[in-house]
Amino acid sequence: MSQRLTTPMVRRDGELREATWDEALDRAAAGFRSVLDEHGPTAFGMFSCSKTTNEVNYAAQKFARTVIGSNNIDSCNRT
């Protein structure tokens, strides 16, 4: 039997429960927004993996820089 999750999970009152994708993504966006509102874009950082494609790494840095407004992005590509 597989232990892989097939549906998003969200925490409510300390307990995990199943959620819709819309709810899970809305919660993630709200979490990003609250950090940005309280601490600004420099509080956000992203790490991207060298084992993924160049396109995924490009999308990650583009998201961090243009959507979030942070240059705090790093990867292990340079090692």
Same domain (yes/no): 61, 72: yes
Same domain (yes/no): 35, 45: no
The count of structural domains within the chain is: 2
pLDDT at 3: 86
Same domain (yes/no): 31, 52: no
Same domain (yes/no): 30, 52: no
The DSSP-derived string for the chain is ------S-EEEETTEEEE--HHHHHHHHHHHHHHHHHHH-GGG--EEE-TTS-HHHHHHHHHIIIIII----EEEGGG-
Same domain (yes/no): 27, 45: no
Banded model confidence at residue 79, pLDDT cuts 50, 70, 90: low
Same domain (yes/no): 28, 58: no
Domain that holds residue 32: 1-39
pLDDT tens digit string along 17-71? 999 999 999 999 999 999 999 999 999 999 988 888 889 989 999 999 999 999 9
pTM over 0.85: no
Residue that terminates a domain, selected from 39, 54, 69: 39
